[in-house]
């Protein structure tokens, strides 16, 4: 079994996921990039290696259960464990927050295809892939699971007319992140008597394909919360929802 810490970051060939892998690599952790496209994954690894970071990539479509099994075999055969899982992959089929705000995106107008597709990628796939990989995380001395959520998943903030996100009505996306937060709470409870810690993070409003060009933060900024929760000490929190040092209401 490898003594170096190993991290698996899904959807990490670009954006927040790539910067998360880079930051973890800078800390001496071996990052493995999950990418739906093999070429994109290898290109991301080459960029990390050019920056002095040893890394690897595997083909991983979070919605493909065959890829879940292949990922398990990869980590079991190569490392015998998995120390950090960052569930970063996700989609928005309703556009970016700015376009949603301007068009209104009525809840009653969301299509079945959009709702089911979003929940499949952002919730169901996260749950099922984590279930597959959890036995390897249990083999870590200090396993960490980070679910990349969003303030748009906060029911508390969405029900507050004074909240900055009150009018950002992306029903499918918001619901998927609310559900992911529920998974965080329930999984943290199940693992409460272990060394594994499970938390949700809000990366901030980041300039990515999902966040749009109007976002104020860079992908590097957006990776910071994930990295903090992926590397928290044994007395750190579990079952929480964070942006940097701030606790976000559910």
Q: Which residue has the tokens 């892998």?
A: 21
Residues 6+ apart with CB under 8 A from 77: none
Phi, psi of 130 (to 5 degrees): -65, -40
Confidence of residue 206 (pLDDT cuts 50, 70, 90): low
Q: How many Å separate Cα 66 from the centre of its chain?
A: 20
Kindly state the average pLDDT of the residues 203-222: 66
The pLDDT of residue 40 is: 97
The pLDDT of residue 143 is: 98
Domain-wise residue ranges, the chain: 6-247
CA neighbours closer than 13 Å in the CB half-sphere of residue 5: 17
Confidence of residue 42 (pLDDT cuts 50, 70, 90): very high
> In whole angstroms, how far apart are CA 197 and each of 34, 67, 124, 192?
21, 24, 20, 8
C-alpha 87/C-alpha 9 separation (Å) is: 6
Q: Count Cβ atoms below 10 Å from residue 193 Cβ, excluding itself.
A: 7
Three-state secondary structure of 127-165: HHHHHHHHHHHCCCCCCEEEEECCHHHCHHHHCCCCCCC
**Which helix or strand (DSSP H or E) is residue 45 part of?**
helix 38-50
C-alpha 61/C-alpha 12 separation (Å) is: 11
The pLDDT of residue 219 is: 76
Mean pLDDT of the chain: 92
Pick the CATH number of 6-247 from 3.40.50.720, 3.40.50.300, 3.20.20.140, 2.30.110.10: 3.40.50.720
In this predicted structure, the answer to whether residue 228 has a pLDDT above a threshold of 60 is yes
The pLDDT of residue 213 is: 58
Residues 6+ apart with CB under 8 A from 94: 100, 105, 110, 114, 118, 170, 171, 172, 173
């Amino acid at each position: 079994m490898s003594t170096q810490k190993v991290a698996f970051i899904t959807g990490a060939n670009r954006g927040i996921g790539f910067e998360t892998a880079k930051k973890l690599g800078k800390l001496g952790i071996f990052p493995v990039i999950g990418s739906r496209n093999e070429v994109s994954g290898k290109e991301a690894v080459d960029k990390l290696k050019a920056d002095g970071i040893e890394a690897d990539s595997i083909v991983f479509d979070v919605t493909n259960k065959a890829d879940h099994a292949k990922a398990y075999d990869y980590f079991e055969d190569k490392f015998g464990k998995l120390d950090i899982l960052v569930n970063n992959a996700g989609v928005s089929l309703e556009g970016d927050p700015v376009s949603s705000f301007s068009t209104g995106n009525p809840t009653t107008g969301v299509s079945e295809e959009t709702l089911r597709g979003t929940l499949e990628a952002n919730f169901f796939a996260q749950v099922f892939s984590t279930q597959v990989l959890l036995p390897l995380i249990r083999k870590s001395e200090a396993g960490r699971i980070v679910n990349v959520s969003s303030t748009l998943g906060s029911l508390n903030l969405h029900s507050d007319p004074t909240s900055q996100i009150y009018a950002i009505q992306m029903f499918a996306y918001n619901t998927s992140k609310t559900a992911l937060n529920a998974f965080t709470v329930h999984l943290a409870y199940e693992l409460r008597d272990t060394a594994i810690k499970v938390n949700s993070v809000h990366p901030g409003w980041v300039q990515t394909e999902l966040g749009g060009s109007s976002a104020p933060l860079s992908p590097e900024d957006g990776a910071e919360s994930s990295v903090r929760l992926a590397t928290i000490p044994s007395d750190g929190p579990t079952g929480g929802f964070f942006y940097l040092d701030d606790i976000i209401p559910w």
